[in-house]
Every structure is written in C-alpha cells, then in structure tokens.
Amino acid sequence: MTHWKPDPFAHRVEVNPRALPSDAPYPPGLSPILGPEGFAAAGQEIRGWPGYRPTNLVSLPGLAASLGLGGIWYKDEGSRFGLGSFKALGGAYAVYRLLAERVKAATGHAPSSAELMAGAHRDITAGITVATATDGNHGRSVAWGAQLFGCRCIVYIHAGVSEGRRDAIAQYGAEVRRIEGNYDDSVHQAAADAAANGWLVVSDTSYEGYMEVPKAVMAGYGLVAQETLDELPVDERPTHLFVQGGVGGLAAALTALLWQKLGPERPQIVVVEPDAADCLFQSALHGKPTKVEGNLDTLMAGLAAGEVSLLAWEILDRGANGFVTVPDEAAISAMRALAEGVGGDTPIVGGEAGVGGLAGLIAVMGDPQSAQKLALGPLSRVLVIGSESDTDPELYERLVGRSGAEVRAAA
C-alpha cells in the first residue's frame, strides 16, 4: 500500500480547557489514585509472571509520512500473555491483589503472586469467587487471573458481546452469564449479584462506593507506558499520545505515568472514542462526569461505555489535552491500513477497539483545522496504543478481508 491516503471521516474534536499547563507538576491530590508506588508494585509483580515479555513497539514511518507527521510509534499489545490485549495487565493483577489481601487477613502474611501460582493458600483462595462485567477483554483477563491464582470466577456479558468473545472467556474456566442490555447494565448486574452472594467484584471502572480495585487495575495498565519509555530513545519520545477511551482506565493510567516520569516533557494526551459511545467526550464538554444513554451500538465493542470511571476522570479532566470521536468506518480503515502496511510498514493485526486511537489520529490528520487544534504537524511524533489484536478472529477477517494469521505471515 504505497500510495495510501486517508479517507475523510466525520469526527469531533474538543480541546480541554481544564487541562493543566504542560509544565505543571503531577498534582499531589491525584497520587492516592495513581502514584509511583502503585505503578512500581504492579510492575514488579507482573514482570515475574510466566510468559512475561515487553510487547512490541513498532515504528510506522510510511503511515507517518502519508499523514504528514514526523513519526508514529505503535505499541502492539496483541501478544500480551497470549490474551490478545492490554487488559491482561489489569484484571489479573487486581485478582491477585484481592486474593493476597484475603490471605493476609487469614494468616497475617501477604503472599506474592508466585506463591499463589504455586498453589500456596489454595485452601483459602478456592473458597473465594470473583465477578466482573465485560465487553470481552477485561473478563478474559479476570478469568485468566482467577485460574492462575486459584479462585472461582463469574463473568457477566451483555447482549452485544459476540459468541467468539464469550468462548474466549470460558476457556479459562469462568462461568459466563449473558444478560440483556448494554455494558453498563452488565456492570450493575455483576455488582448486585456479588453483593447478594458475598463475591468480590473486579471491575475496571470505578463508581461511588467502589474505588480501590480499579486503582489496582489501572496500576497494571501503567506497564504499557513504562515499557514504552524503557525502549524509546530520549530524542524519540512522543509529542502526542492518541489513546482510546472506553471508561477511561487505560487513558488515565498512561496519562498519570507519563506525567510522573516526564514532567514538562510529557506528551499531549488525546483520548478517542466511538461517536456512539462518547461518555468521556460528553464529560469534557460538560466539565463533569456525564452519562451517555442508549444501546451504545458500536463496532468498537471494547469501547462501548456509557459511564466514565470516576477515578479515571479525575486524572483525565486535568491531564488530557483533547477528546475526539470517530465513526466505526474510521476504525475499519485503520485496521486495513495496519494490515496492509502503508509505505512498506510492517503489517500489524489491530482489532476493532484496539485501533481506536489510530482511527482518531487518521481522522484528525485528514482535516487541517482539527490537526491545528491539537498542534499536530510535520514535527509531531505520535505514540498510539494498539490495545488489542484479533480477539474476535471471525469479525476481524470479515472486516479486513484476511485472517489475522495471514497478516502475521506477511509480516
């Protein structure tokens, strides 16, 4: 694909007037949500898990040149622990933290994740049930973590979750329960059933009365940014980060870690959402957490959230510089561009939700006014998070025209 040009896509851009100046230090009031100690603890545990290795950070010079940018780095989370997405870092780590707390309460000793994986304290963990709601990837991570650390798991999915995603969760031994309604309905059902049965909720979104577990989930996500900083030369550090939204957990984690590590040299943060599920965009417009009603029907199923995570919003409200919405067609275009390899770029398998940030970047660069609003140009180096691969293989092949295996073979 040597002569690729982006199609124009309808999109919206909101520059955040409440974002702190780039030279403002990370606010002390945000450290109890996501601070250096939490990120360090998560990284230390996760790096010791079997199969851990940093995911690929891929330069896309062909795509960057086609868009008129100085560079694009794509952090490809598709190989993360064999689960296909960055979510492997968050849900499983939160499961470990909850089980370790229960074991400590019973024995006075907080076990490491290695101890739990070895079967220590199985007499305690086997009697614990964790529950969560998911669009697919988070539930897969929680189910994997429950299997890894030795507890029971129940995962709630909503009407829009494909059978392929359901099966991907069930293979890790979880009981999967499908409900009517949308993602937010499944969150509420999981919370209600957990309260009635004494289960532990492992959610990637925070709400009134439920704050501690999502902190652990986001702390795990921070490893995505830390690995990126470990690999990138100082003179290649990004001027911008385009990251997909959902409830905001990934975006908030990356914003917080980059802010803490880079200070005034941190990149401009741009959060991208489907136009049918734009709770973060609407929250930015209104200056407060704002719920989006309806069925949230979007191809980017992993981003189909109608309510922001309250903790994530506290960070994004002060740390995100812009918010963008795109239609589903923009995601399909981004998937195909990655699979083909623009201007000789390495072909990459990017799932429909995983390319949200890239879809936003392509849409913005197709409109000079939007690019100017976000200070994007020939000197800009943009970090994009490829948050999932073909986690629904049948859907991926239908949208791209080739299977993920065929794209990988071409690479």
| Catalytic site positions | 87, 135
CA distances from 207 to 204, 291, 351 (A): 10, 12, 28
Angle 47-231-251 from CA coordinates, rounded to 5°: 75
Tokens 């239908």, located at residue: 398
Assess contact for 390 and 351: CB atoms under 8 A.
yes
Q: Pseudo-torsion of CA 139, 52, 356, 291, nearest 10°? A: 40
Edge-to-edge, what's the strand order for the sheet holding 268-274?
A: 12-15, 322-326, 268-274, 240-244, 381-386, 71-76, 56-59
- 392: its two tokens: 């629904």
- What's the rounded Cα separation, in Å, for the pair 32 and 18? 21
Assess contact for 97 and 113: CB atoms under 8 A.
no
- What's the rounded Cα separation, in Å, for the pair 346 and 355? 15
- What's the rounded Cα separation, in Å, for the pair 241 and 97? 29
CB-based contacts of 159: which residues, under 8 Å, 6+ apart? 178, 179, 180, 181, 182
Assess contact for 275 and 323: CB atoms under 8 A.
no
Assess contact for 297 and 339: CB atoms under 8 A.
no
